[in-house]
Every structure is written in C-alpha cells, then in structure tokens.
Structure 1
Amino acid sequence: MLEKIAVCVALLAGPAVAQDKAFTLHAPATLTDTGFIKHLLPRFSLKTGIRITATAGAGEAAFGTSGTPVFKQGETVWHFTKTDVPHTDTFEAWLLSDIGKRTIEAFAPEGDAMFSADVALPAKVQIVAITGDAQLGEATSLKKCGRCHVVNASNRMKAIGSTPSFALMRTFPDWQQRFEAFFVLKPHPAFTQVADITEPFAANLPSPIAPIEVTLEQIDAIIAFVATIEPADLGAPIQSQ
C-alpha cells in the first residue's frame, strides 16, 4: 500500500515539477515577426527541458536594448535581461555557449543567416593629446628617421624604398600609438636609445648601425609633426573579378 501511495505522489508531483521549469520572455514584435523566436526557444527547451513562453508584455526575462549582449541583427545588438526567477540564468548561459551561438546563426529563412552571435565590441583606440613642437618634430624626423623613411619631399630620394613613408603610416588608424612606441617595435630596439627610458645596449649586442638617440620631448615633437601630414592617397580598393 505504501508503495502505491508513493507512486501516486510521484505521478502527481511530476507535472508540478515540470511546470516549474518554465518562465516567460518578453520579445518585441520587431524580433518575433522575423520568426527567430519560434526557431530559438524550442531548440533550447529540447536541450534543457525548460519551457519558455514568449510574450509581448512584461516577462520574467527579456530581449531588448539593455543587459547582456547576446546576438546581433544587422547593426542592432540585442541584449538579454533576467530576473531571479529560476532557469533564466540557464537560458543566458545557453545563449552565450557554443551550441547557443550556432543555433542563433542557424536561423536563415532565406538562405542567409539573419543573426550573428558575434557581439564583441571593437577595441577603442585611446588617443593622447598632441602637445609637441611640430617644427622641432620635422627637423628631428629628418635627422633621426630620414635615413630609412621618407619624411617629406626633401628626402624622398634618400630613404630606403622598402620602408613605409610617414605619409603612408599616417593612414594607419593607430598611427599615433605606433609613433609613441616606435622604439619598441622591430627593428627599432636594435639601434634606438630613448633617454631615461631604454636600457643601454648589451655589450654582446651592440647596435648594428649608428644608433638613434632621442628624448621623450623629441618623440612628442615627431608625433606633432606627423599629425600635420596629409595621409597618403592609396586610391580605391582593388576589386576582385
């Protein structure tokens, strides 16, 4: 008799437990109208046994413009917010997992993926205020850098053709950072000394050429000068046929 009662209790409790593994999710019409929600939620439920009911009203979790970025639709980044309701954190973890990302990107109703799971933000390049003496920078550049790089028209025929010109390097998005730290970028460490910054050359590794010796003031001046240079016109990108 006790065994029968235990079985009955288990059967009665089963639906209640299953029903507890559920929560509601707010999804704006602009998202549900794509059919993406109907693609996403059943696949999550199949893997986890957690049922999610999409709603246009308030939900226990939501897709919107704030929270954790989880997928991108064109230029729009969709975020996920959740409450303390059980299983919402499981859904968030799934969205960010490899299988969740593959599921997101598998939605391609017309053959092309409509959503991307790559929501990483591009690293911001920190720009430091330019305060150096541009006139000093031009003179220093010609004297210290002109034997390798084309600095301006006056040394165009005296530099090494295989090294990039200042005008070309001016096209780099991070040109300022490159010039600020040029002395640690190859091949410069082998022959460059910055007063009070770099260590002297090792006795067994002398500079292979006449060393370049500069101060931080001169580097600031070089950066100020390079800021005045018009970036090289590289023309239109080559179009593949």
Structure 2
Amino acid sequence: MLKKLAILAVLSAGPVAGQDKSFTLAAPDALTKTGFLKHLLPRFSLKTSIRVTLTDGGADAAFGPQGTPVFRKGDAIWHFAGADNPNIVAFEEWLLSDVGKRTIEAFAPEGDALFSADLAMAATVQTATLSGDVALGERVSLKRCGRCHVVNDSNRMNAIGSSPSFALMRNFPDWQERFETFFLLKPHPAFTQVHGVTDPFPDTQPSPIVPIEVTLNEIEAITAYVGSIAPADLGAPLQTQ
C-alpha cells in the first residue's frame, strides 16, 4: 500500500504522467559519511519531485573525481557525472544553480559550512523564488501544522504555547530554508512523512504520535504561504550603553 501511495505521489507531482522521475546515485564513503547527501538530496527532491536513491554500485550517476566540478571541501573538488538522462541533467543543473549553491553551503553540522559551491571563490547565491499555491499552503498549514504552531489568528487558541508561531519564525533570516526542509529538523523526523521522499517508519520504531503526512507540492505551498504573511513585530532592538 505504501509503495502504491509513493508512486501516486510522484506521478501527481510531475507535469508528465507516467514519467519515472528518479535515478540512482553512487558516492564514496568519504562523502556519504559526512551526512552531506542526507542534507542535499531531499532538498533537490523537494524542488523537482525527482527522487534520488543512493546505491553502492551500478548507479546511473556518481560523485567522484570525474565529470563536472560541482562543489569543494577545502582544496578537494568533487565532480558529478551521469548518464544522458533528463532527471540526471536536472540534478546537475540544480547543483550549479544559485539555489543549489545555497543548499550546498547551508550544510554546517558544526556551525561552519563544510562544503563550498564557490569553485572560483566568487559564487553569488540568491534566494529561491516562491511559486507555491498560497491558499493551499494556508489550508495545509492549519491542518498539518496548526496542532503545534499558531499559523494565524484562526488557530491562535489551539496551538502549543512553547512552539513558535509562523509569524515569529518569519523573522528568522533562514525562514525559507527552515520551512522547505522542516521534515528534517527536530522533532519533525519522528512524526513526519513526505510522500516519495522520506522512508516509512520502521515497524520496530513507529511514530510516537499521529504522523503528519505531506507531499512535496504541499511543502512548497506552505512555504509560499509563510512568505505571504507579515513577520511578527518584535519591537525595536535593545539599546546597549
């Protein structure tokens, strides 16, 4: 049943019915052990609805010493190479785009960016354009997120006081990144499923509460909705003498 739902989610997210929007990817242990790909791949899937599956061998594409330079770690430059496949081409183009570069450099497990997309030491990164359905985003936010967060005045009395409101989080400099990838940020992974992206909960470790189930299209809509609301007025900054 879960497999059927995943297939339907991918088909409904893409513009061409019946197209297999996925490919397999190989990467050396030196890269996978950093946790970087767990950060990178879901974000690409969020933007494109193309699912990337890591595999040890016989992959459609690979990170390594051959191909197009895409990012670096210190002085070591990582390359990407793959078959002539529209999904693989889309991934390479995304890695080289401003949004992809921003995503690469957002991976900072110890507080500092571990990888850089600036191969020439002069990359320019821009904020991604919000293109989701704002009205859908409001409905999904109230239904899926409103049990914890104040989404707007309509659920102000039903949320959990310790959870930040959407208007408050709208003040965060990285608010867009947070909402686009909320399912990766604690505590959400313990109870959130994204169709076609996240793996099902293990039978031995089910969700501790009723799971939140969303699609990539709904996440895009939520982010667009948050972009449409005014940040909470936090008052003037404190003046120090």
TM-score (norm 1): 0.48
Structure with max Cα Rg: 1
Larger RCO, structures 1/2 (Cα 8 Å, 6+ apart)? 2
TM-score (norm 2): 0.48
